[in-house]
Structure 1
Amino acid sequence: MAAGAEDIASRRTRGLDRAFEILEFLRARRQPMRPNEIAVAIGAPRSSVYELINLLLGRGMLEYHDDDGRVFLGRRLYFLGTAYSDHFDLIRESEALLTHLATETRETSQLCLLEGNKYTVAKMHEGLRPFRISANVGELVSIPWTASGRLLVSHLSDEEILDFIPPEDFVLPRGEKLDPAQFIAEVRQAAAEGFFTFHSTVENFTHCFAAPVYQTDGTCVATLCLVTPKEDGLRNHEAYVASLVGAANDLSERLGYLATPKQVEHSNRV
């Protein structure tokens, strides 16, 4: 009897894991797909994928997109996301700071997080200048491609960083390979300096700024970022870093993080 109950529970867990895999796959692909295409892409039996998709359709988690049977994320997920956003302090508390940063610098400001072993933009406020970037909120990006990535893994040891980031993610968008040792050195530099900036590896002609947002135990749980035209970022580098670090420190304090005297001194110096 107990063994049978455990088997049922195990099957339900596998089914739930597979359902989340389908939702995450569609989120990453960002386009409607047929159930058989999803099954092939995630390497799952078509019968189980069809069954789970029908369940998700029935609960509004997925919706049909056209007459060809393509499915995509459903509107019920939007309402769940809205409820999460209203409750989660980090997202809500960042909104005014992002607006302030974008107004003060005229540049695009972002709140960035880790999603699994990838980087993503959780919130974005467009700058006032005509310059625009192509970043999409929720798009998954390799950690080594980003300024924020140097800060978001800074609580890990060197070995943990190499275990956490897939080896293929050290291959940059233009095909060159970033030496993992160089990346780790930049992680330690970013943690020591309290910010990181560099010319974007993803967008041409842009310079990226990132400053850490800490939770109570001192772990960097997010970053505040500025994405600027390369020349403007270099010209206003000191002012942009000061604005960004100040806003990130403010958000960290709202999350209950108490800065050390050394960090306060460093922030004032910036």
Structure 2
Amino acid sequence: MNAPPDVLGRAAILLRAISARERGSATTAELARATGIARPTAHRLLTALMTQGFVDRDPDGRWLLGPELYLLGTAAAARYDVTSLAQPSVRRLAVATGESAFFSVRRGDETVCLLREDGSFPIRSHVLHEGIRFPLGVASAGLAILAYLPATEVDRYLSANDLTVAYGVSHAPDRLRARIADTRRDGYALNPGLIVEGSWGMAAAVFDNRSRPVGALTLTGIESRFTPDRQPKLGRLLLDEAHRLTITAR
């Protein structure tokens, strides 16, 4: 069993939990439930983070990311920011398909959504938004990335993480392995409404100069927009843009 995170680790978990909220804010109770950190401990850590400017609190008592994180992020952007490179691909996908298009990056054993652009089709899927995190293997971006990791890393990851607790039996190892095989065969990943019923997604991995998956481009929408006869067309568009972004980012 992994040791519980130390003070710094728990503070980082709370910051990530705030960033993953669709509204960009959360109450102490919400953060305690989301992270498994006891409410008094969460409140004490958040208060300490606020004194350093890493979080802020609105008049309704909701915690938000603070100005110091913006300043640190600005300083780090020159080294890590790839959103400017990904934005044209995300926009082209949204325009060409009418669906919502996204760019996510891998951070450890998770994916983090960084960009979103909605297409012209009026009905949206709201599973993804900027800042949301999913474990690898969950949602189409996480599946696309997991599928192209070395087999030994996939085995180690699936052995160490029980995704069924949060995401149900559809994310049991045998079912994930079957979807990994499908992804490798097709080149793109398909999420047939496994997180929210009726909300589908497709994704293609983006690679670094060592041919390791570091991110993914995604399209999401309602089930009727991802029919079997349309999936290959969407998949080709995703693969083309993912290849273009892979080459551009190197």
TM-score greater than 0.5 by the shorter chain: yes
Distance 1:49 1:210, change over 3 A: same
Which runs of structure 2 are paired with 1:63-102 in the superposition (5 Å)? Answer: 63-66=56-59, 71-85=63-77, 87-102=79-94
Larger RCO of the pair (alpha carbons < 8 Å, separation 6+): 2
Partner of 1:121: 113
Conserved? CA contact 1:108–1:126, under 8 Å: yes
Conserved? CA contact 2:54–2:69, under 8 Å: yes
* TM-score relative to the length of structure 2: 0.78
- Asked if residue 162 in structure 1 is aligned to residue 161 in structure 2, the reply is no
**TM-superposition CA deviations, 1:185-226 (whole Å, max 9, x none):** 321332343212242212333331111100011111111111
Partner of 1:228: 221
Rounded Cα–Cα distance in structure 2 between residues aligned with 1:28 and 1:247: 26
SS state of the match for residue 42, structure 1?
A: coil
Identity of aligned residues (%): 20
Rounded Cα–Cα distance in structure 2 between residues aligned with 1:127 and 1:220: 26
Specify the structure having the higher radius of gyration (Cα): 1
Partner of 2:139: 146
Distance 1:107 1:25, change over 3 A: closer
Superposition deviation, residue 61 in structure 1: 0.9
Partner of 1:218: 211
Conserved? CA contact 1:206–1:229, under 8 Å: yes
What is the one-letter code of the residue matched to 2:28? M
Partner of 1:250: 244
Of 190, 205, 214, the residue aligned with 2:183 is 190
Rounded Cα–Cα distance in structure 2 between residues aligned with 1:250 and 1:89: 17
Superposition deviation, residue 142 in structure 1: 4.2
Conserved? CA contact 2:100–2:221, under 8 Å: yes
Superposition deviation, residue 119 in structure 1: 3.2
Superposition deviation, residue 127 in structure 1: 1.0
Conserved? CA contact 1:33–1:72, under 8 Å: no
Structure 2 unaligned runs (5+)?
Answer: none
Which runs of structure 2 are paired with 1:47-62 in the superposition (5 Å)? Answer: 50=44, 52-62=45-55
Conserved? CA contact 1:26–1:32, under 8 Å: no
**TM-superposition CA deviations, 1:154-203 (whole Å, max 9, x none):** 31424213135x21x23575x54444123123213323432122422123
Partner of 1:42: 37
Rounded Cα–Cα distance in structure 1 between residues aligned with 2:15 and 2:223: 36
Conserved? CA contact 1:211–1:224, under 8 Å: yes
Report the RMSD for the aligned CA atoms in angstroms.
3.2
Distance 1:104 1:142, change over 3 A: same
Conserved? CA contact 1:144–1:170, under 8 Å: no
Structure 1 unaligned runs (5+)?
Answer: 1-12, 257-270
Superposition deviation, residue 62 in structure 1: 1.5
Conserved? CA contact 1:155–1:219, under 8 Å: yes
